[in-house]
Protein backbone atom coordinates (compact mmCIF):
# COMPACT_ATOMS: atom_id res chain seq x y z
CA UNK A 1 0.00 0.00 0.00
CA UNK A 2 1.28 3.45 -0.90
CA UNK A 3 2.66 5.33 2.09
CA UNK A 4 0.71 8.47 1.23
CA UNK A 5 -2.58 6.56 1.44
CA UNK A 6 -2.18 5.51 5.07
CA UNK A 7 -3.26 8.80 6.58
CA UNK A 8 -6.74 8.65 5.05
CA UNK A 9 -7.56 5.07 6.00
CA UNK A 10 -10.38 4.81 8.50
CA UNK A 11 -9.92 3.17 11.88
CA UNK A 12 -12.18 0.38 10.67
CA UNK A 13 -9.96 -0.19 7.63
CA UNK A 14 -6.83 -0.09 9.78
CA UNK A 15 -8.29 -2.71 12.11
CA UNK A 16 -8.65 -5.17 9.25
CA UNK A 17 -5.23 -4.42 7.78
CA UNK A 18 -3.49 -4.78 11.13
CA UNK A 19 -5.03 -8.16 11.76
CA UNK A 20 -4.28 -9.43 8.27
CA UNK A 21 -0.67 -8.30 8.60
CA UNK A 22 -0.83 -6.10 5.51
CA UNK A 23 -0.08 -2.93 7.48
CA UNK A 24 1.61 -2.41 10.84
CA UNK A 25 0.74 0.10 13.59
CA UNK A 26 4.35 1.29 13.48
CA UNK A 27 4.18 2.12 9.76
CA UNK A 28 0.85 3.91 10.14
CA UNK A 29 2.01 5.89 13.15
CA UNK A 30 5.19 6.95 11.35
CA UNK A 31 3.12 8.07 8.36
CA UNK A 32 1.00 10.25 10.63
CA UNK A 33 4.00 11.68 12.48
CA UNK A 34 5.71 12.55 9.20
CA UNK A 35 2.57 14.28 7.99
CA UNK A 36 2.19 16.18 11.26
CA UNK A 37 5.83 17.27 11.06
CA UNK A 38 5.25 18.52 7.53
CA UNK A 39 2.00 20.41 8.10
CA UNK A 40 2.03 21.46 11.74
CA UNK A 41 3.82 24.79 11.02
CA UNK A 42 1.03 25.75 8.61
CA UNK A 43 -1.94 24.31 10.49
CA UNK A 44 -1.34 24.71 14.24
CA UNK A 45 -3.53 21.62 14.56
CA UNK A 46 -1.61 20.42 17.61
CA UNK A 47 -0.45 22.21 20.72
CA UNK A 48 1.67 19.24 21.81
CA UNK A 49 2.86 16.38 19.60
CA UNK A 50 3.68 13.22 21.56
CA UNK A 51 5.94 11.56 18.99
CA UNK A 52 7.98 9.41 21.39
CA UNK A 53 4.89 8.20 23.20
CA UNK A 54 3.16 7.47 19.88
CA UNK A 55 6.08 5.39 18.63
CA UNK A 56 6.20 3.44 21.87
CA UNK A 57 2.45 2.84 21.72
CA UNK A 58 2.64 1.66 18.12
CA UNK A 59 5.48 -0.72 18.90
CA UNK A 60 3.54 -2.10 21.86
CA UNK A 61 0.47 -2.61 19.67
CA UNK A 62 2.50 -4.39 17.02
CA UNK A 63 4.01 -6.70 19.62
CA UNK A 64 0.57 -7.34 21.07
CA UNK A 65 -0.81 -8.40 17.69
CA UNK A 66 2.11 -10.78 17.21
CA UNK A 67 1.50 -12.23 20.67
CA UNK A 68 -2.23 -12.60 20.18
CA UNK A 69 -3.11 -9.91 22.73
CA UNK A 70 -5.64 -7.98 20.68
CA UNK A 71 -7.60 -5.61 22.95
CA UNK A 72 -10.19 -4.50 20.42
CA UNK A 73 -10.98 -2.68 17.16
CA UNK A 74 -9.13 0.55 18.09
CA UNK A 75 -5.90 -1.22 19.01
CA UNK A 76 -3.01 0.55 17.30
CA UNK A 77 -5.18 3.32 15.82
CA UNK A 78 -3.49 6.77 15.98
CA UNK A 79 -5.76 9.36 17.59
CA UNK A 80 -5.59 12.86 19.04
CA UNK A 81 -7.05 14.41 22.19
CA UNK A 82 -8.38 17.92 22.54
CA UNK A 83 -5.94 19.75 24.81
CA UNK A 84 -8.66 20.14 27.41
CA UNK A 85 -8.31 16.49 28.50
CA UNK A 86 -5.72 15.70 31.15
CA UNK A 87 -2.97 13.25 30.24
CA UNK A 88 -0.60 12.17 33.01
CA UNK A 89 2.89 13.52 32.36
CA UNK A 90 1.86 15.46 29.24
CA UNK A 91 0.92 19.11 29.51
CA UNK A 92 -2.71 20.18 29.27
CA UNK A 93 -2.91 23.85 28.31
CA UNK A 94 -6.68 24.23 27.78
CA UNK A 95 -5.59 26.55 24.97
CA UNK A 96 -4.66 29.17 27.57
CA UNK A 97 -1.49 31.15 28.14
CA UNK A 98 -1.82 30.79 31.90
CA UNK A 99 -1.72 26.99 31.62
CA UNK A 100 0.94 26.57 28.97
CA UNK A 101 3.20 24.66 31.37
CA UNK A 102 0.58 22.71 33.36
CA UNK A 103 1.41 19.00 33.53
CA UNK A 104 -1.26 16.89 35.27
CA UNK A 105 -0.33 13.94 37.47
CA UNK A 106 -3.34 11.86 36.42
CA UNK A 107 -5.24 11.26 33.20
CA UNK A 108 -8.83 12.13 32.39
CA UNK A 109 -11.43 9.40 32.15
CA UNK A 110 -11.54 9.70 28.38
CA UNK A 111 -7.74 9.42 28.08
CA UNK A 112 -7.72 6.35 30.32
CA UNK A 113 -10.48 4.65 28.37
CA UNK A 114 -8.78 5.25 25.03
CA UNK A 115 -5.49 3.98 26.42
CA UNK A 116 -7.22 0.79 27.55
CA UNK A 117 -8.65 0.45 24.05
CA UNK A 118 -5.08 0.37 22.72
CA UNK A 119 -5.14 3.64 20.78
CA UNK A 120 -1.90 5.43 19.92
CA UNK A 121 -1.82 9.05 21.12
CA UNK A 122 -0.31 11.36 18.49
CA UNK A 123 -0.77 14.51 20.54
CA UNK A 124 -3.03 17.16 22.03
CA UNK A 125 -5.00 19.32 19.61
CA UNK A 126 -5.50 23.06 19.47
CA UNK A 127 -8.70 24.71 20.67
CA UNK A 128 -10.29 28.01 21.54
CA UNK A 129 -8.94 29.33 24.83
CA UNK A 130 -10.69 27.43 27.63
CA UNK A 131 -13.04 26.03 24.95
CA UNK A 132 -15.05 29.26 25.01
CA UNK A 133 -15.80 30.19 21.40
CA UNK A 134 -17.41 28.77 18.25
CA UNK A 135 -14.95 29.56 15.47
CA UNK A 136 -11.55 28.22 16.51
CA UNK A 137 -9.70 31.48 17.14
CA UNK A 138 -6.78 31.24 19.57
CA UNK A 139 -4.45 34.23 20.16
CA UNK A 140 -1.92 32.19 22.17
CA UNK A 141 -1.26 29.05 20.13
CA UNK A 142 -2.40 30.26 16.72
CA UNK A 143 -5.71 29.90 14.93
CA UNK A 144 -5.89 26.73 12.83
CA UNK A 145 -7.10 27.19 9.24
CA UNK A 146 -10.05 25.45 7.71
CA UNK A 147 -8.67 22.42 5.81
CA UNK A 148 -10.79 23.26 2.74
CA UNK A 149 -9.93 26.96 2.59
CA UNK A 150 -7.09 28.38 4.72
CA UNK A 151 -8.70 31.83 4.78
CA UNK A 152 -11.66 30.41 6.70
CA UNK A 153 -12.03 29.19 10.27
CA UNK A 154 -12.25 25.48 11.18
CA UNK A 155 -14.93 25.97 13.82
CA UNK A 156 -14.56 25.64 17.55
CA UNK A 157 -13.94 25.12 20.14
CA UNK A 158 -12.53 21.72 19.07
CA UNK A 159 -10.74 23.34 16.13
CA UNK A 160 -7.58 21.25 16.10
CA UNK A 161 -9.50 18.00 16.43
CA UNK A 162 -11.72 18.79 13.45
CA UNK A 163 -8.79 19.93 11.34
CA UNK A 164 -6.57 16.97 12.31
CA UNK A 165 -9.20 14.42 11.35
CA UNK A 166 -10.18 16.12 8.08
CA UNK A 167 -6.59 16.75 6.98
CA UNK A 168 -5.32 13.25 7.69
CA UNK A 169 -3.29 14.22 10.76
CA UNK A 170 -5.12 11.71 12.98
CA UNK A 171 -7.47 8.82 12.32
CA UNK A 172 -9.90 10.08 14.95
CA UNK A 173 -9.99 12.64 17.73
CA UNK A 174 -11.78 13.68 20.88
CA UNK A 175 -13.59 16.98 21.25
CA UNK A 176 -15.85 18.52 23.84
CA UNK A 177 -19.25 20.09 23.25
CA UNK A 178 -20.86 22.67 25.54
CA UNK A 179 -22.83 24.48 22.86
CA UNK A 180 -21.67 22.92 19.60
CA UNK A 181 -17.90 22.53 19.99
CA UNK A 182 -17.82 19.05 18.44
CA UNK A 183 -20.50 19.62 15.82
CA UNK A 184 -19.40 23.05 14.56
CA UNK A 185 -15.87 21.96 13.55
CA UNK A 186 -17.29 18.69 12.26
CA UNK A 187 -19.60 20.62 9.93
CA UNK A 188 -17.02 23.21 8.90
CA UNK A 189 -14.25 20.64 8.34
CA UNK A 190 -16.37 17.97 6.68
CA UNK A 191 -16.11 15.17 9.26
CA UNK A 192 -18.46 13.31 11.59
CA UNK A 193 -18.92 14.53 15.16
CA UNK A 194 -21.07 13.13 17.98
CA UNK A 195 -22.49 15.31 20.75
CA UNK A 196 -23.29 12.88 23.55
CA UNK A 197 -25.87 13.28 26.29
CA UNK A 198 -24.64 14.77 29.56
CA UNK A 199 -23.34 11.96 31.76
CA UNK A 200 -22.93 9.45 28.94
CA UNK A 201 -19.14 9.98 28.93
CA UNK A 202 -17.24 10.95 32.07
CA UNK A 203 -15.79 14.46 32.17
CA UNK A 204 -13.42 13.91 35.09
CA UNK A 205 -10.05 15.41 34.18
CA UNK A 206 -11.52 17.62 31.44
CA UNK A 207 -11.18 21.36 32.11
CA UNK A 208 -14.76 22.55 32.62
CA UNK A 209 -16.48 25.42 30.86
CA UNK A 210 -20.02 24.84 32.14
CA UNK A 211 -20.62 21.93 34.51
CA UNK A 212 -24.26 21.76 33.46
CA UNK A 213 -23.72 21.73 29.70
CA UNK A 214 -20.28 20.15 29.12
CA UNK A 215 -20.05 16.88 27.18
CA UNK A 216 -17.27 14.84 25.55
CA UNK A 217 -17.61 13.41 22.05
CA UNK A 218 -15.63 11.68 19.27
CA UNK A 219 -14.82 12.95 15.79
CA UNK A 220 -13.73 10.88 12.78
CA UNK A 221 -13.91 10.65 9.00
CA UNK A 222 -16.73 8.12 9.01
CA UNK A 223 -19.67 7.20 11.22
CA UNK A 224 -18.42 3.70 12.02
CA UNK A 225 -15.20 5.12 13.46
CA UNK A 226 -17.16 7.59 15.58
CA UNK A 227 -19.25 4.68 16.84
CA UNK A 228 -16.13 2.68 17.75
CA UNK A 229 -14.70 5.65 19.64
CA UNK A 230 -18.01 6.24 21.39
CA UNK A 231 -18.28 2.64 22.57
CA UNK A 232 -14.73 2.80 23.92
CA UNK A 233 -15.32 5.88 26.08
CA UNK A 234 -19.01 5.73 27.05
CA UNK A 235 -20.40 4.36 30.29
CA UNK A 236 -19.64 4.23 33.98
CA UNK A 237 -16.06 4.63 35.21
CA UNK A 238 -14.80 3.91 38.72
CA UNK A 239 -13.91 7.13 40.49
CA UNK A 240 -15.78 9.36 38.04
CA UNK A 241 -19.14 10.49 39.39
CA UNK A 242 -19.84 12.42 36.17
CA UNK A 243 -20.18 9.17 34.19
CA UNK A 244 -23.66 7.73 34.67
CA UNK A 245 -24.15 4.01 35.14
CA UNK A 246 -26.46 3.58 32.17
CA UNK A 247 -26.26 0.75 29.63
CA UNK A 248 -24.60 1.87 26.41
CA UNK A 249 -26.33 -0.89 24.47
CA UNK A 250 -25.27 -2.80 21.38
CA UNK A 251 -24.23 0.25 19.37
CA UNK A 252 -22.24 -1.65 16.76
CA UNK A 253 -24.97 -4.27 16.46
CA UNK A 254 -27.64 -1.75 15.48
CA UNK A 255 -25.37 0.61 13.52
CA UNK A 256 -25.90 -1.05 10.15
CA UNK A 257 -29.59 -1.85 10.48
CA UNK A 258 -31.82 -0.21 7.90
CA UNK A 259 -33.73 2.91 8.87
CA UNK A 260 -37.04 2.05 7.24
CA UNK A 261 -39.88 3.12 9.50
CA UNK A 262 -37.82 5.47 11.66
CA UNK A 263 -39.60 8.80 12.13
CA UNK A 264 -37.83 12.06 11.34
CA UNK A 265 -39.12 15.54 12.15
CA UNK A 266 -38.23 18.59 10.08
CA UNK A 267 -38.42 21.69 12.30
CA UNK A 268 -38.44 24.82 10.15
CA UNK A 269 -38.33 27.27 13.03
CA UNK A 270 -35.72 27.79 14.33
CA UNK A 271 -33.51 25.19 12.61
CA UNK A 272 -33.91 26.38 9.00
CA UNK A 273 -34.70 30.02 9.69
CA UNK A 274 -32.07 32.25 8.09
CA UNK A 275 -30.13 29.35 6.57
CA UNK A 276 -27.84 30.01 3.62
CA UNK A 277 -29.77 28.87 0.51
CA UNK A 278 -27.08 26.40 -0.54
CA UNK A 279 -26.93 24.93 2.96
CA UNK A 280 -30.71 24.59 3.08
CA UNK A 281 -30.79 22.94 -0.35
CA UNK A 282 -28.11 20.38 0.55
CA UNK A 283 -29.86 19.52 3.80
CA UNK A 284 -33.21 19.15 2.01
CA UNK A 285 -31.50 16.76 -0.42
CA UNK A 286 -30.10 14.78 2.51
CA UNK A 287 -33.56 14.51 4.06
CA UNK A 288 -34.87 13.11 0.78
CA UNK A 289 -32.08 10.52 0.81
CA UNK A 290 -33.24 9.36 4.25
CA UNK A 291 -36.83 9.32 3.03
CA UNK A 292 -35.72 7.20 0.09
CA UNK A 293 -34.24 4.74 2.57
CA UNK A 294 -37.66 4.30 4.12
CA UNK A 295 -37.60 6.81 6.95
CA UNK A 296 -40.90 8.59 7.58
CA UNK A 297 -40.37 12.35 7.28
CA UNK A 298 -42.82 14.94 8.56
CA UNK A 299 -42.82 18.53 9.76
CA UNK A 300 -43.12 19.43 13.43
CA UNK A 301 -43.30 22.56 15.56
CA UNK A 302 -40.73 22.80 18.35
CA UNK A 303 -41.70 25.78 20.53
CA UNK A 304 -39.22 24.85 23.25
CA UNK A 305 -36.34 25.36 20.82
CA UNK A 306 -37.80 28.67 19.62
CA UNK A 307 -38.21 29.86 23.20
CA UNK A 308 -34.71 28.73 24.19
CA UNK A 309 -33.10 30.66 21.35
CA UNK A 310 -35.15 33.77 22.04
CA UNK A 311 -34.55 33.93 25.79
CA UNK A 312 -30.83 32.96 25.71
CA UNK A 313 -30.96 31.53 29.22
CA UNK A 314 -28.47 28.92 28.07
CA UNK A 315 -25.88 31.63 27.42
CA UNK A 316 -26.57 33.24 30.79
CA UNK A 317 -26.06 29.92 32.55
CA UNK A 318 -22.95 29.06 30.53
CA UNK A 319 -21.30 32.41 31.18
CA UNK A 320 -22.09 32.35 34.89
CA UNK A 321 -20.67 28.86 35.34
CA UNK A 322 -17.62 29.75 33.24
CA UNK A 323 -16.96 32.78 35.45
CA UNK A 324 -17.21 30.54 38.51
CA UNK A 325 -14.61 28.20 36.98
CA UNK A 326 -12.21 31.03 36.14
CA UNK A 327 -13.03 33.51 38.91
CA UNK A 328 -9.64 33.34 40.60
CA UNK A 329 -7.65 33.73 37.38
CA UNK A 330 -9.91 36.57 36.22
CA UNK A 331 -9.12 38.42 39.44
CA UNK A 332 -5.43 37.65 39.77
CA UNK A 333 -4.24 37.48 36.16
CA UNK A 334 -6.83 38.98 33.78
CA UNK A 335 -4.15 39.86 31.23
CA UNK A 336 -3.45 36.18 30.59
CA UNK A 337 -6.86 35.87 28.91
CA UNK A 338 -7.31 36.73 25.26
CA UNK A 339 -9.56 39.71 24.69
CA UNK A 340 -12.36 37.63 23.10
CA UNK A 341 -12.62 35.17 25.96
CA UNK A 342 -12.24 37.87 28.59
CA UNK A 343 -15.20 39.67 27.03
CA UNK A 344 -17.28 36.48 26.99
CA UNK A 345 -16.61 36.03 30.70
CA UNK A 346 -18.43 39.22 31.58
CA UNK A 347 -21.61 38.31 33.45
CA UNK A 348 -24.53 40.70 33.20
CA UNK A 349 -24.80 42.99 36.23
CA UNK A 350 -27.33 42.00 38.84
CA UNK A 351 -27.51 38.28 37.96
CA UNK A 352 -28.30 36.74 41.34
CA UNK A 353 -28.54 33.23 42.73
CA UNK A 354 -32.31 33.48 42.49
CA UNK A 355 -31.97 34.24 38.77
CA UNK A 356 -29.84 31.15 38.24
CA UNK A 357 -32.31 29.05 40.19
CA UNK A 358 -35.09 30.28 37.92
CA UNK A 359 -32.99 29.54 34.83
CA UNK A 360 -32.42 25.96 36.01
CA UNK A 361 -36.13 25.58 36.82
CA UNK A 362 -37.09 26.74 33.33
CA UNK A 363 -34.55 24.40 31.79
CA UNK A 364 -35.91 21.42 33.71
CA UNK A 365 -39.42 22.26 32.56
CA UNK A 366 -38.29 22.64 28.93
CA UNK A 367 -36.52 19.29 29.09
CA UNK A 368 -39.72 17.63 30.32
CA UNK A 369 -41.90 19.15 27.61
CA UNK A 370 -39.25 18.39 24.98
CA UNK A 371 -39.24 14.72 26.01
CA UNK A 372 -42.99 14.59 25.47
CA UNK A 373 -42.71 16.39 22.12
CA UNK A 374 -40.07 13.95 20.82
CA UNK A 375 -41.87 10.85 22.05
CA UNK A 376 -43.28 10.08 18.60
CA UNK A 377 -40.13 10.70 16.53
CA UNK A 378 -36.64 9.22 16.47
CA UNK A 379 -34.82 12.37 15.36
CA UNK A 380 -35.10 16.02 14.44
CA UNK A 381 -33.22 16.67 11.21
CA UNK A 382 -31.75 19.94 9.94
CA UNK A 383 -28.52 21.81 9.21
CA UNK A 384 -25.75 21.68 11.78
CA UNK A 385 -24.80 25.27 10.95
CA UNK A 386 -26.89 27.80 9.05
CA UNK A 387 -23.97 28.84 6.84
CA UNK A 388 -20.58 27.45 5.79
CA UNK A 389 -17.35 28.39 7.55
CA UNK A 390 -16.77 32.17 7.54
CA UNK A 391 -13.52 33.85 6.59
CA UNK A 392 -11.36 34.71 9.56
CA UNK A 393 -11.10 38.33 8.44
CA UNK A 394 -14.89 38.63 8.27
CA UNK A 395 -15.56 37.59 11.84
CA UNK A 396 -17.15 40.27 13.94
CA UNK A 397 -16.11 38.79 17.25
CA UNK A 398 -18.05 41.28 19.29
CA UNK A 399 -21.44 40.20 17.94
CA UNK A 400 -23.18 36.92 18.80
CA UNK A 401 -23.85 34.58 15.87
CA UNK A 402 -26.85 32.29 15.63
CA UNK A 403 -25.58 28.99 16.97
CA UNK A 404 -28.52 26.64 17.06
CA UNK A 405 -26.22 23.81 18.11
CA UNK A 406 -26.36 25.15 21.67
CA UNK A 407 -30.08 24.31 21.92
CA UNK A 408 -29.21 20.60 21.89
CA UNK A 409 -27.10 21.01 25.03
CA UNK A 410 -29.70 23.21 26.70
CA UNK A 411 -32.51 20.70 26.12
CA UNK A 412 -30.40 17.73 27.26
CA UNK A 413 -30.40 15.92 23.90
CA UNK A 414 -27.80 14.08 21.82
CA UNK A 415 -26.90 14.81 18.20
CA UNK A 416 -24.56 13.85 15.39
CA UNK A 417 -23.26 15.99 12.53
CA UNK A 418 -22.49 14.14 9.30
CA UNK A 419 -21.24 15.65 6.01
CA UNK A 420 -24.00 16.17 3.44
CA UNK A 421 -22.27 17.95 0.58
CA UNK A 422 -20.40 21.05 -0.51
CA UNK A 423 -21.34 24.57 -1.48
CA UNK A 424 -20.42 26.04 -4.86
CA UNK A 425 -17.26 27.37 -3.18
CA UNK A 426 -16.24 23.87 -2.14
CA UNK A 427 -17.08 24.28 1.55
CA UNK A 428 -18.50 21.36 3.57
CA UNK A 429 -22.02 21.37 4.97
CA UNK A 430 -23.19 19.28 7.92
CA UNK A 431 -26.50 17.49 8.48
CA UNK A 432 -27.50 17.39 12.14
CA UNK A 433 -29.59 14.53 13.52
CA UNK A 434 -30.86 15.29 17.02
CA UNK A 435 -32.37 12.64 19.26
CA UNK A 436 -33.69 11.80 22.67
CA UNK A 437 -31.39 11.74 25.70
CA UNK A 438 -29.06 8.72 25.66
CA UNK A 439 -30.22 7.57 22.21
CA UNK A 440 -26.85 8.05 20.57
CA UNK A 441 -27.13 4.60 18.97
CA UNK A 442 -30.12 5.65 16.85
CA UNK A 443 -28.45 8.89 15.77
CA UNK A 444 -25.40 6.93 14.66
CA UNK A 445 -27.62 4.41 12.86
CA UNK A 446 -29.34 7.17 10.90
CA UNK A 447 -26.04 8.91 10.15
CA UNK A 448 -24.49 5.64 8.97
CA UNK A 449 -27.41 4.88 6.66
CA UNK A 450 -27.18 8.34 5.12
CA UNK A 451 -23.40 8.17 4.80
CA UNK A 452 -23.51 4.81 3.05
CA UNK A 453 -26.15 6.04 0.60
CA UNK A 454 -23.97 8.98 -0.48
CA UNK A 455 -20.37 9.54 -1.49
CA UNK A 456 -19.39 12.44 0.76
CA UNK A 457 -17.33 10.22 3.09
CA UNK A 458 -14.77 9.73 0.30
CA UNK A 459 -14.08 13.48 0.03
CA UNK A 460 -10.84 14.84 1.46
CA UNK A 461 -9.36 18.35 1.47
CA UNK A 462 -7.33 19.26 -1.58
CA UNK A 463 -5.07 22.13 -2.52
CA UNK A 464 -2.83 23.30 0.29
CA UNK A 465 -3.11 19.99 2.19
CA UNK A 466 -2.51 17.24 -0.40
Active site residue 339: no
Active site residue 82: yes
Q: Which of 447, 428, 419, 432 is nearest to 387 (CA)?
A: 428
Q: Give me the catalytic one of 94, 107, 157, 417.
A: 157
Q: Give me the catalytic one of 108, 181, 387, 417.
A: 181
Q: Give me the catalytic one of 24, 82, 107, 108.
A: 82
CA distances (Å), origin 126, targets 1, 30, 100, 155, 190: 31, 21, 12, 11, 18
Active site residue 157: yes
The total number of residues shown for the chain amounts to 466
Active site residues: 82, 157, 181
Amino acid sequence: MAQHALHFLTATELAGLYRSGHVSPVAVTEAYLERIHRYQPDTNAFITVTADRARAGAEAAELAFRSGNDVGPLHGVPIALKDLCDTAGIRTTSGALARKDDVPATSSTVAKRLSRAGTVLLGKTNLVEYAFGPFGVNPHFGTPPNPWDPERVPGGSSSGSGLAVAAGLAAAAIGTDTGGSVRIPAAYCGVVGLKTTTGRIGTRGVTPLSWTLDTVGPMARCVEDVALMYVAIAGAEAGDATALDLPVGDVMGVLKKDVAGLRLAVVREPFFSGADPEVASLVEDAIQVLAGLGAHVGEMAFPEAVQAEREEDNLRLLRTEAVAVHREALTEAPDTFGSDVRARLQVEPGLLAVDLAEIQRKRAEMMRTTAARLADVEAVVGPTMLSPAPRLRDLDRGEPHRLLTRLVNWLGLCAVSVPCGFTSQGLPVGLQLTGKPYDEATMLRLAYAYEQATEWRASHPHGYLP
